[in-house]
Amino acid sequence: MSGRAAEPPPDATLRRWEREQAQLKASVVEEDTEEWQKDSSFAGLERVGGVDLSYIKGDDTSACASLVVLSYPALEVLYEDCQMVAVSAPYVAGFLAFREVPFLVEAVQRLQEEEPKLKPQVLLVDGNGLLHPRGFGVACHLGVLTDLPCIGVAKNLLQVDGLVRNELHREQIRSLQREGDTFPLTGTSGRILGMVLRSYNNSSKPLYVSVGHRVCLETAVRLVKSCCRYRIPEPIRQADIRSREYIRKQLCSPLEVISSEPESRKEEAELDD
């Protein structure tokens, strides 16, 4: 199968996207807004959502958008929505939301129409929130448009505000000895942009957690940790697994499927490490 790629957008489109990000960023709330967030055991939290997009390798214009809702704290799947979508916007660093968020917003809207009682109280997003060149990553974008608490959970460090994957950073990661250990990501601006979390004892690879919307960083980290049976928090892990499987069933083919991460293939093993 020949690969297909979306055309890069003109400069005018990038400027329009930047303006839109700046306008929406003004609505981001970086603190807890829900009663369940204020309880040490998250009493009152019953439904946690996860979202993801998966692509067919070699074709970045066809994807499966997935939304799952899990019970909390049992983390059992209550709802699943997988839809094949035609992606027209290209991947541009710093503008992933314009490529993927419209399909995730539609998934949330379908859920609200079809199963309103299963509406998630928080969404875990495979991507960054405030940890972003303009402080408005995909988790912020989705949070503002849906008005749901959102948390960004990334598997790789986005190098912004002086943050780099240097030897010091690797040494800090090695210092995370047990699951639940963390250290802050402090940019050269002096602002804490996110937290590095060792989420699972059997994996030395950390997660990069950042605020999306209507949640503070401390709460975000605690919730992500509580949702991890493996390295990847279960809502995102289930959204990824189900979107991959949906593509395979639709195509009746063992074609390789990749995650929404544009620059690194997500290996199947990573789902369980």
- Backbone dihedral angles phi then psi of residue 186, each to the nearest 5 degrees: -105, 120
- Tell me what pLDDT residue 60 has: 85
Give kind and range of the element (H or E) at residue 59. strand 59-71
Angle 157-158-164 (CA atoms, 0-180°, nearest 5)? Answer: 70
- Tell me what pLDDT residue 4 has: 54
- Could you report the average pLDDT of every consecutive run of 10 residues in the chain (273 residues)? 59 95 98 96 98 90 96 98 94 94 98 97 98 97 98 96 96 96 96 97 96 98 98 98 93 65 38 37
Residue owning tokens 């928080």 = 122
Closest CA to 81 of 56, 105, 98: 105
pTM of the complete model: 0.91
Angle 109-130-53 (CA atoms, 0-180°, nearest 5)? Answer: 45
Residue 85 to residue 251: CA distance in whole angstroms: 14
Q: Please, which residues bridge with residue 210 across strands?
A: 152
- Tell me what pLDDT residue 263 has: 36
Closest CA to 152 of 170, 173, 174, 135: 135
Residue owning tokens 């802050």 = 184
Give kind and range of the element (H or E) at residue 82. strand 77-86
- Tell me what pLDDT residue 264 has: 37
- Tell me what pLDDT residue 6 has: 61
- Tell me what pLDDT residue 36 has: 98
Residue 181 to residue 198: CA distance in whole angstroms: 6
- Tell me what pLDDT residue 262 has: 43
The architecture (CATH level 2) of 28-250 comes to 2-Layer Sandwich (3.30)
